[in-house]
Amino acid sequence: MRIVNLIENTEGQPGCRCEHGLSFYIETERHKMLMDTGASDGFLANADLLGIDLGGVDAVILSHGHYDHGGGIPAFAKKYPRTRIYMQQSAGGSFYHLKPEGEKYIGLEPCILGLPQCVLLQRDHRIDRELFLFSGIEGHRMWPEGNRALKRKAGAEYIQDDFCHEQCLVVSEGDFHVLLSGCAHNGVLNILDRYREIFGDWPDVLVSGFHMKKDRYEEADLEHIRETARLLKKTGILCFTGHCTGQRAFDVMKDIMGDQLRAIHSGEVVLDTGKALLDTGELLQDMREEKDADSSM
């Protein structure tokens, strides 16, 4: 399995564009796919620079209905009109970020849901033995405080977004499982609880934004971040994060999780199980042993 970050907020591979957005290229024995497409067509340019041929992609997974994850879909669909795009049907909602200076539309371009290659899902969906999509994340422990400004517009009224349009991708190679989320709006711990409900154990690897980025952190925010890090550390999962996590939150979590937490940067390889990338293989073995020793969170 190989996972490459095609675009993210921060600079990584020289020459690659970065933007407020997220996109991954994922290669398995059976598939070549994308998880999200960033905010623009920048991921296409980065793929070209990295020598990744997106013409072989057989599936696009949209994590949720926000522009910074689905903004590149029209450009991709124009270039590759036959590739299936999997999203939750509710991803086409009217989503807004309410700020003191006014509202900002953060949803998808309306044309996207009308694309013939879109596969609109309702809750969980198994594509094949390698790929499984799940939603239905209902827990609220350690729910990100930044969600409170994110709304869905119904008529003239703004309603708290419940993120039912959020879905996660599980990629499996035998008994090795990687869980990918976009922003973990419903809370990374609640997503892991839903995963464990389905699979009975923790994934080996988690790749996700944690939606912890803020302009100003109160002590309660920092303790929320520390507790999330402590609980993640207990699971033994190797975690990769970026985008909406924020540098301050990452640093706080890194102090607790150490090498179990790693940063994502634009254009860089996240995971390659065929190579000993940054000693990932040895680290995963250590994580598995810790996970077997303590399976509770």
**For residue range 143-175, what is the model confidence (pLDDT) as tens digits?**
999 999 999 999 999 999 999 999 999 999 999
Distance from CA of residue 180 to its chain's centroid? 5
Strands 23-27 and 84-88: unpaired
Mean pLDDT, range 87-114, rounded to an integer: 95
Q: What is the pLDDT of residue 274?
A: 83
Give the whole-angstrom CA distance, residue 168 versus residue 208. 9
CA dist., res. 261 & res. 100, Å (int): 34
Domain, as residue range, for 200: 2-293
Predicted confidence at residue 277, as pLDDT, reads 47
pLDDT at 78 over 80: yes
* DSSP assignment string, the chain: -EEEEEE-SS--STT----S--EEEEE-SS-EEEE---SSTHHHHHHHHHT--GGG--EEE--SS-HHHHTTHHHHHHH-TTSEEEEEGGGGS-EEEEETTEEEE-S--TTGGG-TTEEEE-S-EE-SSSEEEE------TT--GGGGGEEEEETTEEEE---TT--EEEEEETTEEEEE-SS-TT-HHHHHHHHHHHHSS--SEEE-------SS--HHHHHHHHHHHHHHHHHT-EEEE-TTS-HHHHHHHHHHHGGGEEE--TT-EEEETTTTGGGHHHHHHHHHHHHHH----
Band (289; pLDDT cuts 50, 70, 90): low
For residues 229 and 252, is the Cβ–Cβ distance under 8 A?
yes
**196/201 Cα distance (integer angstroms):** 5
Q: What average pLDDT does the segment 183-209 reach?
A: 98
Q: Over the stretch 36-68, which tens digit does the pLDDT of each residue have? A: 999 999 999 999 999 999 999 999 999 999 999
pLDDT-derived band of residue 200, with 50, 70 and 90 as boundaries?
very high
- Overall number of domains in the chain: 1
Whether the model clears a pTM of 0.85, i.e. scores above it, the answer is yes
Q: What is the pLDDT of residue 278?
A: 46
In the chain, pLDDT over 90 holds for what percent of residues?
A: 88
Q: What is the CATH number of the domain that holds 200?
A: 3.60.15.10
Angle at 29 between CA 17 and CA 290, to 5 degrees: 85
Q: What distance in Å separates the CA atoms of residue 271 and residue 35, rounded to the nearest whole number?
A: 14
Confidence of residue 249 (pLDDT cuts 50, 70, 90): very high
> Can you say whether residue 142 is alpha, beta or left, with left for phi > 0 and alpha for psi between -120 and 50 degrees?
left
